[in-house]
Amino acid sequence: MNDHLDALFKPRSVALIGASAKELSIGNVIVKNLLHYQFRGPVFPINPKVDEIRGLKAYPSVLDVPGEIDLAHIVIPPPFVPEEVENCGKKGIKAIIINTAGFKEMGAEGQALEDDSLARARKYGIRIVGPNCQGIINSDPTINAYCNFTFTYPDPGHISVVAQSGGVGAVIMQAFFDMGIGQRMYASNGNGSDVSITEIVSYYGKDDETRAIVLYAESLNDPLEFIRVAKEVTARKPILAITAGRTDKGAEASRSHIGGLAGSISMDLIYKKAGILNFSSQDDLCQAAVALSSQPIPKGNKVGIITNTGGPSVIAIDELVSCGLEIPPLSDRAKTILKETMFESASIHNPLDVVATAGPAQFKSAFEVMLSEPQFDSIYLNFVTPPFVDCESVAREIVAAAKAGTKPVVCNYMTDKQKWSGTSAILKEGEIPCFDFAETAARALHSLVRYHGIRSAKESIVKTFDDIDREAVRSILEKALSRGREVLTAGEVYAILEAYRIPVAPWAVVHTVDQVCDAANRIGFPVVIKADSEQIIHKSDVGGVAVNIPDVQKAETVAETMKKNLGDGIHFLVQKFLPKEQELIIGAKASVGVGHIIMFGLGGIFVEILKDVAFCLTPVGDTESMEMITSVKAAPLIEGFRGGKGINKAKAMEIIQRISMLGTDFPAIKELDLNPLVAYEDEISVVDARIIL
Amino acid sequence: MNDHLDALFKPRSVALIGASAKELSIGNVIVKNLLHYQFRGPVFPINPKVDEIRGLKAYPSVLDVPGEIDLAHIVIPPPFVPEEVENCGKKGIKAIIINTAGFKEMGAEGQALEDDSLARARKYGIRIVGPNCQGIINSDPTINAYCNFTFTYPDPGHISVVAQSGGVGAVIMQAFFDMGIGQRMYASNGNGSDVSITEIVSYYGKDDETRAIVLYAESLNDPLEFIRVAKEVTARKPILAITAGRTDKGAEASRSHIGGLAGSISMDLIYKKAGILNFSSQDDLCQAAVALSSQPIPKGNKVGIITNTGGPSVIAIDELVSCGLEIPPLSDRAKTILKETMFESASIHNPLDVVATAGPAQFKSAFEVMLSEPQFDSIYLNFVTPPFVDCESVAREIVAAAKAGTKPVVCNYMTDKQKWSGTSAILKEGEIPCFDFAETAARALHSLVRYHGIRSAKESIVKTFDDIDREAVRSILEKALSRGREVLTAGEVYAILEAYRIPVAPWAVVHTVDQVCDAANRIGFPVVIKADSEQIIHKSDVGGVAVNIPDVQKAETVAETMKKNLGDGIHFLVQKFLPKEQELIIGAKASVGVGHIIMFGLGGIFVEILKDVAFCLTPVGDTESMEMITSVKAAPLIEGFRGGKGINKAKAMEIIQRISMLGTDFPAIKELDLNPLVAYEDEISVVDARIIL
């Protein structure tokens, strides 16, 4: 046992507390699964009322079992679980899968039973999976552990699955099975009271036979720890995840059935931060996993296409190009060779149409040329099996060529797999990832390229600014919090921004009309005058905002009117009026357990109607801040469009990073909005801002 | 024979000219297919050199065959084809499938052979499929015609496929086969020299057993005729099409292999005009076809969800909501009933989680309630097959309930189909469309809702404006064309627009500086002055544009400077300067064979960066023009955003329809751009425009 989870994933013996002689009961199905999947160790059914289950001797209690037990299932009703955990401890059992449901998901009573079980397990150093879960599977032929009540018996392979929802996990496992793709390990941990998704991902990460990890999670107990662990893993092997709850309705359904933190944006951002490939479709995810677990990672996005049929290559190109992949032309050298080796009717381009009559020699040459052309990073193959071609020999050439090369190959394999079972077997044996449709093969290839992007991305360096004044901010926040205030005044907000060296249009907070005039003269006209009060949030609705005030006379009138209408107690924010150029919005929103979500967008319609915004979790590094700015659709406006000058991107990046640091330093800041900033070619200044605690 | 294509799709006898005894040759494979698929009529191999092929007597020529022949395949080399067509004519054969390639797709010589073959066929009233094609399949058990060299033997069913590319057709046919879904007819017509995609669609439309038609076309010979025919068909049954060539690269690949009209925009717009459901993925298309060929059409977009597992319903909701479907809550009545009938752990909401232990009684009640609740138009079902549930009985309840109701049901069926073969058979027999993933089931349901939208859409009425002056336009165009000019002058463009009553900012074209001053005074300041010359396209690049001229002094200076810089020969366009409000762009572009593509968008960044535009083929009716305006993402700006007033939509619609009519009346107009129009709450005026012939 070289890992604390080995007792779970590599048990030498398994007991089933609550084993049953009744067919179709969970306590029977698990015994059946262990036996049918040919578990390599002994199985001990525990049931005080029967002597034998499925031919195995049953014991009244784990304490009666003669040998050692690594792992126990518990399938009895919740009230009896804690005591059985205690027995497991006494027996020296190292891991327990509590399949039984009816714990914290059912309310306080269940929560108490869950806590009790966990406390007893901790006492003995037992690790618990569940409760309310399926369990694990390990297809390693030396282990063959099927500690689960599901029904799919995976062949050995290189993809490992971890799913919070057993339903989704089972679907994915079945999908790989239906595709004829082997799997390595499987785990579904339900309520996740002890063994976490993060630990399982880490465990898979260390397993040499696991080449790709598939993840389905609707929530995470400790997202920051998850990010740290997953980042280490994705540097070595890909993690693929479904983003669940990406719509509000979906998130709501997720919350109602798991009772935890949900929300599409944060899960997506967590995945992004960890270098996880996210998918909105299970089908796409499974197909990508097949390619990622069998093929080398391409060095770039340039694809060479070999096809023996026309229409599917049109569809493939549409999909590849839509995904941002490139299809560079053949070199003259390549054309010269191919003109010799191809049939006359072949089309010597990229796509290289070898035509339907092409045999092994044509495919061999096509692969040799495409693999040796330096401008291609990967090979996309359309292979239909014509009844008039020796397809098995073609398949052998494809496999040999792919093995000899260092570039990934994906194949849209168009056939009747029963009739062409020989050809199919050769491609499978040769680990050529085969897909039924041109689009799916193209998307699987795109996932390889995405993973290349993750692996080769420049590290995003998080800058620590030391020119800031943390104490000033702390004192403002403490004062506000001590008075139970949630909305900061403009004066407080601007003081905080200035403490973090975030450029603000020159401003002053004053009390009297005379002071307004003085301040305006000092700042320089034109100015904006706003009533500044913690009571007034929507200032413009009550006549508390006046912009573009040209001179001191007007300033005086405005201030007097506001005093009259809003009361003598108000303060005034006097601020430099900046002519509109490009408006930006930068925001921060606290997200439970993951710090803040930082947002960037262009002002007005771009954010409000087109939802053209970029998000990133704190801490936002330099590369990430650049990505945020360049990833919005309206980015050309930032660069300068139609003679427009564009904005100072370096300053925008810096503001994003300073806001990120402010959020990290002060988790009490619940929401911060710089809306808008006015951005010019040289300077960027906040002209309105809001902070909520 | 009640249709001219019956001889093709319902042949009573088939000859194969070029039949071969050689295994793996096309001339042998087709004989094999006819025999294995149990064709109901006689098969006559034609080959002068052998006596027998696959146990059938071979004849030297069709003329030697004793009985009547409905359909002949020709698989001999191109030079010999015309003569065999002649022989077919003499024999009284009614339809020929020319499988042989090497005709027009190979250049002039091939084109001549194709033309010759066609001419001879016409002489005898023979219909030709191909050349360079696969042929047809008809699964009708009374016919069993497999006149094709492909390898998938479809079971009888209700989906018919027509594909220009045999490769794509074969993939789709195989996909249905792999899903266990029957098919009705299949056709791939290759070069389409005679029998067209349009005719085949029309034929399928009249076939009662065909409930859904699947189409793959990269080009159409007569798009307008196609639209007319397809529209009739889609009013009765759905047509589903893959949009091929949706990227430039894809379209290029398509052109290179079919040599015809291609282009994603026009194919997509043709499909839209015809009420065809377009798909960018074959997988999605096939799954939608399964739902559309088995389920009633829903009356709206509101979905009731029944599930016996948690995670997959989160994924389903994400997909349903992303597709624009709604998930309304259960009524109190429904909740009351379900609280009685469901297990305690069930979640009585929409989604209704009956939980994994639910048996037939729970499913029965769930369906009864959901089907009777008026707020649901369709039922989405997640059905995982727990090993501890009597799933066959559950399946029987699902089928019975679906049959009794009038609402469509789709099912995400999560199982091992081998182990649950009984359950699977019950669902299949009961025509419950089953899908492996929540997303795919959700998308299939979305296709049903899309088809409901097509069927229930208000007819788009094309208005004929009779206040226009066709003669004025004709004379301008004729004059320009007679001088070989392609770019019209501003004066000509505005005159054309005014002839079609498209509002233009007041303008005049004059020659002298004095006339400029007079015109400006008459129009009223501020004005714009532009050098108007057919030689100058990019006027602003050469100092030929001056905007917002406030008075006559400035007008005089500007005009004099232009004369000096651009030469004495220039004319001046003097036009009212309109302050910027909302800018619009409306354009028309001639598209070979389909009239014009009309474009609508908001000016500047919206078109140029965000590509936020709507297209429609001429003639654009009222509903279509409204759709164009409301379908752009920036539509809220048109409605009035953040206190903005919005624009006069009725006028914008009218301008779109008038431009559509102008394009239809004058096909010589290759490109027309109104860029921009300035739009206010009341008026909309063209302030710059361009026409290219």
Q: Among residues 360-419 of chain A, which lie with CB inside 8 Å of chain B?
A: 382, 384-385, 387-390, 414-417, 419
Q: How confident is the model at residue A536 (pLDDT cuts 50, 70, 90)?
A: low
Integer Cα distance of B198 and B201 in angstroms: 5
For residue A570, the 8-state DSSP code is -
DSSP string, A146-198: EESS----PPB-SEEEEESSHHHHHHHHHHHHHTT--B-EEEE-TT-SSS-HH
Q: How confident is the model at residue B360 (pLDDT cuts 50, 70, 90)?
A: very high
Q: In this predicted model, which residue has the larger pLDDT, A244 or A503?
A: A503
DSSP SS3 for B277: strand
Please, what is the angle between helix B391-404 and helix B421-429, to 10°?
10
**CB-CB under 8 Å, A244 with B315:** yes
Is 0.80 topped by the overall pTM?
yes
- Total CB pairs under 8 A between chain A and B: 256
Of A345, A349, A388, the CB nearest to B24: A388
Mutation target vs A (from B152, B153, B315, B345; most A CBs, 10 A cutoff): B315
CA B344 to chain A, closest CA, distance in angstroms equals 11
Asked whether the beta carbons of B396 and B360 are under 8 A apart, the reply is yes
A264 neighbourhood in chain B, CB within 8 Å: 318
A345 neighbourhood in chain B, CB within 8 Å: 101-102, 106
- Res B537 pLDDT > 60: no
Determine if residue B365 is left, alpha or beta; phi over 0 gives left, psi from -120 to 50 gives alpha, anything else beta: alpha
Q: What is the pLDDT of residue B32?
A: 96
CA B172 to chain A, closest CA, distance in angstroms equals 9
DSSP SS3 for A38: coil
Q: In this predicted model, which residue has the larger pLDDT, B160 or A591?
A: B160
Q: What is the pLDDT of residue A384?
A: 95
**CB-CB under 8 Å, A245 with B318:** yes
B264 neighbourhood in chain A, CB within 8 Å: 318
Mutation target vs B (from A132, A314, A383; most B CBs, 10 A cutoff): A314
Integer Cα distance of A628 and A600 in angstroms: 7
A167 neighbourhood in chain B, CB within 8 Å: 309-312, 382, 384, 414
- Res B540 pLDDT > 50: yes
**Beta sheet of A545-549, edge-to-edge order:** A507-510, A571-576, A527-532, A545-549
Q: In this predicted model, which residue has the larger pLDDT, B213 or A535?
A: B213
Q: A84 at the B interface (CB within 8 A)?
A: no
Neighbours of B682 (CB within 10 A): 9
Q: What is the pLDDT of residue B262?
A: 32
DSSP SS3 for A378: strand
**CB-CB under 8 Å, B641 with A608:** yes
Q: What is the pLDDT of residue A544?
A: 80
Integer Cα distance of B114 and B110 in angstroms: 6
pLDDT in tens, B417-473: 999 999 999 999 999 999 999 999 999 999 999 999 999 999 999 999 999 999 999
**CB-CB under 8 Å, B106 with A436:** no
Integer Cα distance of B282 and B172 in angstroms: 7
Mutation target vs B (from A315, A327, A385; most B CBs, 10 A cutoff): A315
Integer Cα distance of B81 and B58 in angstroms: 19
Of A317, A319, A416, the CB nearest to B174: A416
Q: In this predicted model, which residue has the larger pLDDT, B646 or B328?
A: B328
Q: A324 at the B interface (CB within 8 A)?
A: no
Cis bond upstream, residue A676 (ω within 30): yes
Mutation target vs A (from B155, B318, B633; most A CBs, 10 A cutoff): B318
Q: Determine the distance from the C-alpha atom of residue B108 to the mean position of all C-alpha atoms in its chain, rounded to a whole number.
A: 32
Q: What is the pLDDT of residue B252?
A: 63
Asked whether the beta carbons of A414 and A309 are under 8 A apart, the reply is yes
- Res A256 pLDDT > 60: no
- Res B65 pLDDT > 50: yes
Phi, psi of A667 (to 5 degrees): -60, -20
Instruction: Give ipTM to 2 decimals.
Output: 0.88
Q: Six-digit token pair at B219? A: 């080009």
pLDDT average, residue stretch A227-231? 96
**What is the sign of the dihedral through the CA atoms of A187, A189, A194 and A199?**
positive
**CB-CB under 8 Å, B314 with A257:** yes
Q: Determine the distance from the C-alpha atom of residue A607 to the mean position of all C-alpha atoms in its chain, rounded to a whole number.
A: 23
- Res B221 pLDDT > 90: no
Query: In order of start, what are the domains of chain A with their CATH numbers?
Result: 1-134 (3.40.50.720), 150-293 (3.40.50.261), 303-456 (3.40.50.261), 506-577 (3.30.1490.20), 582-692 (3.30.470.20)
pLDDT in tens, A562-612: 888 888 788 899 999 988 778 999 999 988 788 899 999 988 788 878 888
Residue B612: closest CA among chain A residues belongs to which residue?
A610
- Res B397 pLDDT > 90: yes
Q: A297 at the B interface (CB within 8 A)?
A: no
Q: Six-digit token pair at B328? A: 């309304």
Q: In this predicted model, which residue has the larger pLDDT, B265 or A447?
A: A447
Of B171, B311, B315, the CB nearest to A437: B171
**CB-CB under 8 Å, A165 with B309:** yes
Q: In this predicted model, which residue has the larger pLDDT, B535 or B636?
A: B636
Q: Among residues 111-150 of chain B, which lie with CB inside 8 Å of chain A?
A: 149-150
Tell me the pLDDT of chain B averaged across its residues. 92
Asked whether the beta carbons of B492 and B476 are under 8 A apart, the reply is yes
**CB-CB under 8 Å, B166 with A309:** yes
**CB-CB under 8 Å, A610 with B634:** yes
Q: Helix H segments across B457-489? A: 470-482
- Res A159 pLDDT > 60: yes
Integer Cα distance of B289 and B238 in angstroms: 9
A106 neighbourhood in chain B, CB within 8 Å: 345
Q: A172 at the B interface (CB within 8 A)?
A: no
Of A249, A389, A440, the CB nearest to B317: A249
Q: How confident is the model at residue B256 (pLDDT cuts 50, 70, 90)?
A: very low
Q: What is the pLDDT of residue A1?
A: 41
DSSP SS3 for A520: helix
How many percent of chain B have pLDDT more than 70? 95
B152 neighbourhood in chain A, CB within 8 Å: 416
Which of A13-27, A125-139, B589-603 is predicted with the least confidence, judged by mean pLDDT?
A: B589-603
Strand-strand pairing, B596-602 and B582-590: antiparallel
Closest CA to B200 of B130, B118, B106: B130
Determine if residue A158 is left, alpha or beta; phi over 0 gives left, psi from -120 to 50 gives alpha, anything else beta: alpha
Q: What is the pLDDT of residue B340?
A: 96
For the purposes of burial, counting CB atoms within 10 Å of the CB of B265, is it exposed (0-12), middle (13-18) or buried (19 or more)? middle
Q: How confident is the model at residue B383 (pLDDT cuts 50, 70, 90)?
A: very high
Integer Cα distance of B95 and B200 in angstroms: 14
Asked whether the beta carbons of A111 and A187 are under 8 A apart, the reply is no
Tell me the pLDDT of chain A averaged across its residues. 92
Q: B639 at the A interface (CB within 8 A)?
A: no
DSSP string, B482-514: HTT--B--HHHHHHHHHHTT--B--EEEESSHH
Q: Six-digit token pair at B237? A: 């049954």
Q: Among residues 7-46 of chain A, which lie with CB inside 8 Å of chain B?
A: 24-26, 29
- Res B73 pLDDT > 80: yes
**CB-CB under 8 Å, B282 with A315:** yes
pLDDT in tens, A22-71: 988 999 999 999 999 999 999 999 999 999 999 999 999 999 999 999 99
Integer Cα distance of A292 and A52 in angstroms: 45
Of B170, B320, B388, the CB nearest to A29: B388
- Res B544 pLDDT > 90: no
**CB-CB under 8 Å, A604 with B387:** no
Which of A208-212, A483-487, B38-42, B185-189 is predicted with the least confidence, judged by mean pLDDT?
A: A483-487
pLDDT average, residue stretch A142-165? 96
